Each structure stands twice: as structure tokens, then as C-alpha cells.
A and B are shown apart, each in its own frame.
Chain A
Amino acid sequence: MIRLGALAVGLLFVVNVLWGAIAPREAVAPDMAKELHKHPKHMEWAHNGPGNLGVFGTFDRAQLQRGFQVYKEVCAACHSINRVAFRDLADLGYSEAQIKTIAGEYEVAAIDANGEPTTRKATGADKFPLVYANEAAARAAQNGANPPDLSLMTKARPDGTNYVYSLLTGYSDNVPKGWNKPDTLYYNPYFHSINIAMPPPLSADGQVSYSDGTPATVDQYAKDVSAFLTWTAEPKLENRKETGVAVILFLIIMTGLGYLSYRKVWADVKKA
């Protein structure tokens, strides 16, 4: 009885779903955006370690500082990194005094002695302030676009670090024939919808002047700021990998010892 019922239900579902498979359906217009869209370029990163494997590797402190400089001088005009606190900059190798100076360049909301809203200089304990008070303000100032917060950007996109680098270096004036690009947008095949509202932020070599002798090129800026945004998204990356190596070494030894005792315990059974 159960099997007869099952047979009936089974036939119902099978015929039903196969009917859907053969039923004619509307032709789907080919999506040109999908053809134009490119996957991020594969770059080598210090924090991915030897072979770019991601097992070992630490951040390149000098690169993070340069990336922070690029962020501050270019990206910060429109994009916040609101999940990062100034004190976190110690990870980049800045001293307490330097952090105080950097924080002092920003104003954050406060309440004065009379209870009136005011602003004060940021301290190490504050987060990087938002660029725009709210989304409406951002859209009003940015021609309808809303520049996203960049704190988590490299984790919020597939292959994020490479994605940020590719996007920053991926702008092109050669718009393919047949692709509709409004004048207010820019062509960038690494962006999911190809047309991006952000104008090319890194436009010319020498735009940011480095003090450590690193070549001041657009490519270098893009690399440095991508590394910096990897840190903002995953500040515990080094700690995580160090812990991982220790944990796995411990587990290998533990499992090895476990295996030896397993062999000993089972020795008499295997022979039986």
C-alpha cells in the first residue's frame, strides 16, 4: 500500500517536473553585461604568503601605511571606513602620538557642557567618522549615487582584494559597440553591472606622493589601497593565521599519538 502510494506520488512529481523541462519557455535575451563582465585579476599579496596560498604571510606594514595614505587622500573624499577605530591604526605600525595626530584631523559629534550638540576632535577610541550624515545626503551630493562604506569591502565581494585592485585599474574608455553607457556613468568591466557611478579615482601617476621611495604609479596606489582595505576588513588576519599554524601542529601531534594508541588497542582484534 505504501509502495503503491509512493509510486503514484513519484509519478506525479516526475511527470510534473519533466513537463516543466520540455514545456516551451520564452527565449531569454542574451545579457550583454554578463559577456562583458570580467573576473578579478590574480595578484600576489604579502598577506597571502609564499605561493599566494593564504596559509602563511603577514601584512606589509609599509604597504598598509601607503594604502592608508591613498585612502585618506583619495577615497576618503566620498567613502568612510566607519568600522575602523583610530586606535586600530597601531596595527599599521603607527605610534600612539602619531595616532593622536591622525585622529585630531577628524571631527566627531559630541554634546557640549550646556547639552547642545557640537563637535570635538576625534581620539584614538573613536571610529573613522562617516563622510555623509546619511544616505540621502550622500545621494544628494553624489549625483544620486551612494558611496558605500569600505570597511568590509574586500570581504563583501568575491575575491575581494583582487576585486578592489581590478576595479581601480579596470576603467576603460573603449566602450564596446552596442553597450549602452549613460554619460554620467563610467565603463568598468570588473563592476557587476559594468556601468559604475564612481569616476576613476586613481587617474594619474604622482597623484599621491609617497615618502618611502615607492614608485608613485596608479598601479602601485591600487595595490596599496587594496592591501589596506584587506586589513580594514580582516584586522585579525595575522593573529588568525599564527593561531591556525599552532592549532594544526598541536592537532597533528595529538592525532598521531591517537593513531598509535589506536594501533595498540586494536592489535589483538586485527589478528583474530
Chain B
Amino acid sequence: MSFPWAKQYQPTSAVGKWVDERLPLPRFIHGALGPGYPTPKNLNAFYNFGVLAGVALVIQIITGVVLAMHFAADTRVAFDSVEHIMRDVNGGWMIRYMHAVGASFFFGVVYIHIFRGLYYGSYKPPREVLWMLGLVIFLLMMATAFMGYVLVWGQMSFWGAQVITGLFSALPLVGTAIQTWLLGGFSPDNATLNRFFSLHYLLPFVIFGVIILHVWALHIPGSNNPTGVDVKSEADTVPFHPYYTAKDFVGLGVYLIVFSAFVFFMPNSLGEPDNYIPANPLSTPAHIVPEWYFWPFYAILRAFTADFLGVPAKLWGVLAMFASILLLFLLPWLDTSPVRSNNYRPLSRILFWVFVVVALLLGVCGGKPAEEPWVRLSQILTAYYFAHFLIILPIVSKLEKTKPLPGSISEAVLAKYGKGGGAPVAQPAE
């Protein structure tokens, strides 16, 4: 679907017409990312991160396919083959650093994308399915990144695989059997490495498929915008191409500059030095920590230190960690305020920023060893994390007095950029 004023695709050449009548792929692109997609004209830089996430995935897939040409998924040589890529393969160091740094950047971009959605209420009707598909992508990304990290077969790879699959052993009765089934043995070994390689190669394409659904779901209602007000007329929108292709290109350039700064000048700054030590099942590292993008969830996992209601602390930690992500699926029904954007929700806006700080601090706690004051801090933060979504937000969204919304996107834009910053103009600008 689209808005009635969306530009229709008109094949200009005989060949274009011939193709359009047989497989209207150009028509599809035209409507999805081209002039045929009317987009709110007030999108700010945070709306660039969806496109950036797509680019990040493409970078991961291209570099990953090349790495797989040189990598050997065998515990005896996996680590050596990575070093072979770094030392002997032409440009191999660049491909591998792009892939390793690229994983971090993919998560960084997706986190900003998610928080953008939280701030502007992009999960609210009619975009619930769009939001949930995004969460599915996030979960798939986590699985993919974890398994990719194991492939290096360094110390943190091995012990990370041990700890993460060990989470399932916390489940009563079937836990240990599930862990053995996941690993293909009693501890991470060749069977583990091979299945993780197979799945690490498969899942990015599954992600790609879900992204297509995500973009499809986006195009039903169209993009949300910083006012959260629905598009009302053609004056509220501009065609995606050339307006947002031009704008996103600038964002992409800035992104690639920052990305390159990491790849070329500090490629190992986001990783654990321990993973440059080959895996050794007989030597446990002093601090087993995942990569930074898992730290908040790792902090939640470790925050449960006391048995409660007869359930062991470890199982609570595992349940809480999964719950902390799964509860986001319910967000459209927990936050019932009809106003989307936090720009017009004074209380929710404060709560949003409190939540950002809590999430960042949880990240800090997750990267630290499990000792005081970090454990107690992560317990308080974890309590707030759950309270924020499950208790505070549902109540606030009922009680909050919201600010008056602008009549339309154009009105809001005029109020901001209009002559002398005067009062909003009542009718949409022509």
C-alpha cells in the first residue's frame, strides 16, 4: 500500500516496459526505496540508522563470505586459520578486522535504531508487527554474533560457548540434556565448532529474509516521524528518492568514517585480548566476559544471586535474561498512551532518559567482574529495568497529561523553521 499521491512507476524505455510486464522488480524497488515511497519530511538523523543497519549487515555478509573461503572449522586449526588470514592472505587483515569491528558496529547501530523507536513510539499501532519483526532480527543477530565469536576458537570463544550453552543447563530436568544436544558433546569441541560455523553462515540470510518482512511491514503504514503524528497530506511528505537517499548517503559517509577509524587505527579496542590466546579447555580465564554488546544482558543474568520461591538463583538469572528481551514484544500493549512521540510526553520523556542511563550502566556492570559494588549495582539496575517496562510505563501511559500535538507534520515543521519561528499555521502548506 502507499499514499494516493505516491509517484507511480513509469517505465521510460521499451526494455523497462518489457521487464515491468514480466517481473516488476524495478517497480518494486521504485516503491520501496525510490521516488514511489512518500516519506515524512521531518525525519531527523536518528531515522538514518535503519538504512545503516542494512549496510552493516551487507558488510558482514560480504566480508564473512570471503573469510569463510580461508577459514577452517576444525578445533585443531581454526585459530591458526584465522592467523593465516591475518598474516598470509592478501588483504586478509582488513577483511577480518572489518568483520570483527563490523559486528560491534552492527549492534551499535541497531541499539540506536531500537532506542529511536522507543523514544518516538514507533512500536505503537499500527506498527506493532514492524516492531516485533525488528526484535526477531535482534534475537537472530545475537545468536549469529555469539556463534561467530566462537569460530575464532580463542580462550573467550571456548569459555563463552561453555557459559552460554551452560545457561540451558539451569533448566530443571532437561537442562543438561539440552546443553549436550546444543554442543554435540559434553563440552565445546569439534562438533560445536562445525555446527556453529554452519549456523553462523545460515542465520545472516535468515536475518536478510526477516529484514525484507520488516521493510514490507514498514511500507504498510509508512515511516513514523519525530512528531509521531500521522501523515495527513502530500505536503507532509517528500519522495524517498532523491530526498532521503541524499540524506542517508551523508549519514552513511559519516558512519563509514567512524567505522574505518576503528578498523584501521584501533581494530582490537572493542574485543577481549584473551581471544588472542588459543582455546584451552584446561585453563579457565580469570574473567569470562562476552563482547560489549551483550554486557547489559550479562549483568541481568548475574544479578540474581539468591534462591527465591524454591527456584535456584541461576535459573532466575536465565529466566530474567530471556524475559528482559521478550518483554519488548509486549511493549505496544504495555504503553497505551495514544501519543507516540516522547516530545509530547513530558513524564515519559524523563523516564526514557532514565532508562537510557540504566541500560548504559547495566552495560558497565556486565563488563566488570562479578564482585562488589558491581553486583549490587546491577541488582538495583535490573530491578529498574523490569519495573520500567512492566510497572511504570503501563501506569504512566494511563495517567500522563500529554502536550497538545501539532495538527500535522507540516505545521510542526513550519513552527520550527517557519518565518521568525511564529505560531503554527493552521492549514497545511501547499
A interface, CB within 8 angstroms of B: 2-3, 6-7, 9-11, 13-14, 16-21, 23, 25, 28, 54-55, 83, 88, 148, 151-152, 155-158, 160, 192, 233, 235-236, 239-241, 243-245, 247-248, 251-252, 254-255, 258-259, 261-262, 265-266, 269-270, 272
Contacts and interface: CB of A to CB of B under 8 A. Distances in A.
Contacts of B383: 13-14, 17-18, 21
Contacts of B265: 54-55, 241, 244
B268 A16 contact: no
Contact of B334 (A2, A23, A259): A2
Interface of B: 41, 80, 83, 86-87, 93-94, 97, 235, 238, 242-243, 246-247, 249-250, 252-254, 256-257, 260-261, 263-268, 273-274, 276-277, 286, 303-306, 308-309, 313, 316, 320, 323, 327, 330, 333-334, 336, 371-372, 376, 379-380, 382-383, 386-387, 389-391, 394, 410, 413-414, 417, 429
A155 B308 contact: no
B246 A248 contact: no
B380 A21 contact: yes
A9 B380 CA distance: 17
Contact of A7 (B247, B260, B394): B394
A17 B390 contact: no
A179 B265 CA distance: 40
Contact of A269 (B238, B254, B266, B308): B238
18 contacts: A2-B330, A6-B334, A6-B391, A7-B394, A9-B390, A10-B386, A13-B320, A14-B386, A17-B383, A20-B303, A152-B276, A156-B276, A158-B273, A244-B261, A251-B257, A251-B260, A262-B249, A262-B250
Given A19-B306, A55-B265, A3 B247 contact: no
Contacts of A235: 87
A221 B383 CA distance: 53
A20 B306 CA distance: 5
Nearest to A158: B273
A241 B260 CA distance: 10
A139 B270 CA distance: 34
Contacts of B413: 272
A244 B264 contact: yes
Given A3-B333, A13-B390, A255-B257, 13 more contacts: A14-B387, A17-B382, A17-B386, A20-B305, A20-B306, A83-B87, A239-B93, A247-B264, A251-B253, A254-B253, A259-B250, A261-B246, A272-B235
Nearest to A54: B265
Given A11-B391, A156-B273, A251-B253, A21 B86 contact: no
A260 B87 CA distance: 40
B372 A28 contact: yes
Contacts of B263: 244
Nearest to B242: A265
Contacts of A9: 323, 327, 386, 390
Contacts of A241: 264-265
